[in-house]
Amino acid sequence: MLTSKLFWLRLSPPQILVMGFGGIITIGTLLLMLPISNTTGEPLNFMDALFTATSATCVTGLVVVDTGTFFSSFGQVVIMLLIQIGGLGFMTMATLFALVLKRRISLKDRLILQEAMNQSSMEGIVRLIRRVLLYSLVIEACGALLLTLRWAFDMPFGKALYYGIFHAVTMFNNAGFDLFGEFRSLTGYVYDPLVNFVVMFLIVSGGIGFIVMADLVDYKKSRKLSLHSKVVLSMTGALILIGAVVIFIFEFTNPKTLGSLNWGGKILGSFFQSVTPRTAGANTLDITGLRQASQFFIVILMFIGASPGSTGGGIKTTTFTMMIAAVIAMMRGKDEIVLFRYRLVQERVLKALTITLLALLLVITVAMILSTTEDSSFLSILFEATSAFGTVGLSMGLTPHLSLFGKLLISITMFAGRLGPLTLAYALGPKKGKELYRHPEGKMIIG
């Protein structure tokens, strides 16, 4: 007992996060392998159960079997719980139980929570977790209520309530699982403004991050937003608007997508497909029917992803903003990077560069390997690899046809994408202390 406690104390926060998520995936895999979890009454094979559990815990939404028709109610509830735990983070859920049982939150726990929430300090971390739990439950409850009322017109109330709760949880946590069967997601509701707006609100709410939510709630009193919130909100709004315009232009005459819709359907479809690559995974248009230009543009949106401290993945909007700001500053011959009249320290810029390059290297490597193991077009494979890294869940139809090795590789990519490449790197090779010396400055020609 003492040995295990000492081992736990020796682990760094990134290592505990990796082990924690790994443990949740293992439990989920075992539960989904039970005959009671599916409608066939036969045990699900290990690889498909592992893939589904990883996809749910990493709030991705890529599926090898249809969630709505293959899994029983028990299996679907297991998936929903994995999504909730994975979206909020297992340490957040552990903190909830500790608060309910009135247990003290240790310094080690606070350090892990700081790492999980991408915070720069431990100050107010437990208060933030309380707010995270409150905001999540309130937003999911409102979403579930509205979706239930809408779907009560299409199905019995009990089923509508079940669907409302399941999809509110999966959409707020930016997972792409749905219960409508035949891998069709929300394509049957492309014209429905209520379903579109509620789902988009849930996706954006889960994707902007809990720090921004707290800032927005406090805005009435403070009358100011932090630099982080300003960057997240402005970049999120810009990406959604630009994405909608680009998709609208590229798909306007495409009979497989927007071409057959009226003006209302075109606008709703364009905005929904712009919001969903922010790591959500739901879709109201057939992704395989999109033009290649639109598909590649969605790959870019998926790579950028959501915001820090959120339920989403990707390199994050703040990282992307910092990289753009650095390029603009360099082109203008400026020595400092300034956003909203705040100067950014060099350490943050280097971290953003590191995250972007590690993510790019991961996606390229996975796409290259899958190109040799899977029989599909390169764009389809790149789409799949980026969707897995960004924990998005959108697919061009490749997922159910992946080889055994392909499923394993995509599972690893989803895991790496949920934790973040930098956290994973720190976990595998713990960060060393500060060096006590400096090397002489060297000069190298660039460009």
**Closest Cα to residue 426, out of 9, 7, 17?**
17
Contact 376, 295 (CB under 8 A): no
State the pLDDT at residue 95. 56
Give the span between the Cα atoms of 376 and 371, in whole angstroms.
Answer: 8
Supply φ then ψ for residue 71, to 5 degrees.
-85, 145
User: Residue 177: left if φ>0, alpha if ψ -120 to 50, beta else—which one?
Assistant: beta
Please state the rounded mean pLDDT for residues 285-294: 93
State the pLDDT at residue 427. 53
| Model confidence band, residue 3 (pLDDT cutoffs 50, 70, 90) | low
Cα four-point dihedral sign 415, 418, 420, 425: negative
Angle formed at CA 353 by CA 350 and CA 355, multiple of 5 degrees: 110
| Model confidence band, residue 2 (pLDDT cutoffs 50, 70, 90) | very low
Instruction: Go through 197-231 and write b for each residue having 16 or more CB atoms within 10 A of its CB, e for each that does not.
Output: ebbbbbbbbbbbbbbbbbbeeeeeeeeebbebbbb
Identify the weakest region by mean pLDDT among 12-16, 81-85, 243-247, 428-432.
Answer: 428-432
Where are the domains positioned within the chain? 11-428
Q: What element of type H or E holds 338?
A: strand 337-339
| Model confidence band, residue 223 (pLDDT cutoffs 50, 70, 90) | confident
- Start-to-end CA distance of the chain, whole Å, equals 57
Please state the rounded mean pLDDT for residues 290-312: 89
Give the span between the Cα atoms of 77 and 282, in whole angstroms.
Answer: 19
Average pLDDT score over the chain: 84
Choose from 3-12, 108-117, 261-270, 426-435 the range with maximum mean pLDDT.
Answer: 261-270
Give the span between the Cα atoms of 374 and 377, in whole angstroms.
Answer: 9
More confident residue, 275 or 125: 275
State the pLDDT at residue 134. 82
